[in-house]
Amino acid sequence: MKTKNELILKGLPISEGITIGKPYLFLKDENPIPDFDISKEDVQSEIIRYREAIIRSENDLKKLQSSLKDDDSYEILDILGSHLEILQDPFITSEIEKRICSECRNSESIFQDSIIKFKAKFKNIDDSFFQERVRDIIDVSRRILHHLRNENSLSAKKIPVQSIVISSELVPSDIAEISVGQVSGFVTQRGGATSHSAIIARAKEIPYVAGIDISCFKEENIETIIVDGSKGKVIANPTKERLDYYQKLIQDKRGFYQNLKESSVRKTETKDGFSINLFGNIDSIDEVDLVLKHNAAGVGLFRSEYLFLANNSFPTEDVQFKIYKKLVEKLSSLPLVVRIFDVGGDKSIKNHDEILKEWKNELNPVLGCRAIRFLMKNPKYLKTQLRAILRASELSKIGILVPMVSDISELFFVKEAIDSVKAEILNEGVHFKENISLGCMIEVPSSAIMSDEIAKHADFLSIGTNDLIQYVLAADRTNPQVSDIYSLLHPSILRLIVGVVKSAQKYNKPLILCGEAAADPKLIPILIGLGIKEFSVSAQHVPIINYTIQNICLSNAVKLAKKALELTSFKSLKELVESQSNLD
């Protein structure tokens, strides 16, 4: 038997937290799918059997949704909702039934073959959002096959209590059906920080690290592992000293977070009384409840494209109006910032052949015809959305945010479109707020460099750190191979932020910073020191960021930022931030 040597593996941090437990190798069942011919007389009964599998799959998801409704699991509910919608997709329903009729083969075989062809067709589209949609369809297909084959239970339910699940990849339903007490952590070979599985793991507050070679866990001599979801580290067979260290760390953090959850959220300001506006990011109406529960200052970013991405179609003006109206009614007098459709070849939209033709041959859709670029080529979608937003603006304070701006002419285009729509609906006798604000997302290097000119014409600015970092550093934020490069703590990023801050200050324009960086407590002091006064984070991060801000002295944060701007490498900046864990 091999010696139980300590093994330290570095991967991609997916969900924060630290846990210790025994590894459980979670391998999917790969039993062969039966493939046989059926008679013409049996075709109808085979279709009925297939439809029953879909109905049972729907019942599974609805039951899971019902069990999560009282847990503030808004993001999980949205993902499960999209899975229910996939079950109504023609690809899943009528197309499979047509093949059963025409080929006279059993439904399992037809279904499996269709999924294999689907995966092959889209495997070369290198985009995280689109691939996540593909994974969702595959996840749903596994559920349908599970019922077609009359399997007794999902393998996830057989996992021992307090296990750390080791798997090549986890799909959303694997994690959604796991209770927090059952599993204490996840380690996978594949997976990204923006995947649906990652979102669910974070919502359940289960530590998760991806990008790990799991072959070593097939060894019998690994009994204990530590998963550090904050640093993306997995430690197999830790030494006694390291085990003791992490056990104390877990105990200390558990006490801290329990006190944080039990304490009421106070006004967001630093220790020395400097006010900060802390907003929430949302993808759906349901998430507003969590924003309000945590006493955020409003919604700093509503990703409106999620209104249609699940349905693969653009919503009508009336559908959008009802959604925006419901949002402002829930928020009452609190502000709402609606980011206009950030859609393009990087996101999946079916049933729109004329649009898909534009994107079909894009080699790199993330840098292609997306967001404002797409809307300028397809102004009818922009006009429909602006009409709906303006109609809802009468009820509350709404801001319109333009994504992916790389040239000021794009901002002017939206300004002109708003003026045109105002005149149009005014003639129709529709009321709206005349002074609706128009903001510009700073997430492309060119817009950061030209922020002085943009700030002159925009009503507010919003720094999108996720895209800005990956575009400036040429590092894909979903790729674990460059996770050590992708970071806000690079001199170029900090200097660009300072430039945007100065531009906003020069013209007295509000500036919001959003993205993953805004939700990182370690980065908040340096960002406040750089002059950021407004943050927008996912609703579940509001309490910890509020607490972090309350324990910062502005004067110390300014000193830290000044010191940071003198440094010239990522390594030195990282060391500085890690040494400044307390700014009291």
Residues carrying an active site annotation: 196, 514
What gap in Å lies between CA 572 and CA 576, rounded to an integer? 6
Pick the closest to residue 344 from 376, 311, 383, 388 (CA basis).
376
The HSE-up count of residue 387 (CA atoms within 13 Å, CB side) is: 21
Long-range CB contact pairs, 468-475, < 8 A, 24+ = 468/442, 468/443, 468/444, 468/493, 468/496, 468/515, 469/493, 469/515, 469/517, 471/443, 471/444, 471/445, 472/445, 472/448, 472/496
What are the two backbone dihedrals, phi and then psi, of residue 18, each rounded to the nearest 5 degrees? -125, 140
Alpha helices in 90-177 (DSSP H): 94-103, 107-122, 128-148, 172-176
Tokens of 103: 């080929």
Strands of 12-15's sheet, edge to edge?
A: 7-10, 233-236, 225-228, 18-25, 163-167, 183-188, 208-210, 12-15
Tokens of 12: 């991609």
SS3 186: strand
What gap in Å lies between CA 328 and CA 332, rounded to an integer? 6
What amino acid is encoded at 315 in this protein?
A: P
What amino acid is encoded at 248 in this protein?
A: K
**Which helix or strand (DSSP H or E) is residue 512 part of?**
strand 511-514
What are the two backbone dihedrals, phi and then psi, of residue 420, each rounded to the nearest 5 degrees? -65, -45
What count of other Cβ atoms lies within 10 Å of the Cβ of residue 16? 21
Q: Looking at the chain, how many residues does it have?
A: 584
What count of other Cβ atoms lies within 10 Å of the Cβ of residue 437? 18
Let me know: does 225 contact 234? Beta carbons within 8 Å: yes
Q: Residue 567 CA to chain centroid, in angstroms? A: 31
Tokens of 582: 């307390």
Tokens of 260: 């944080």
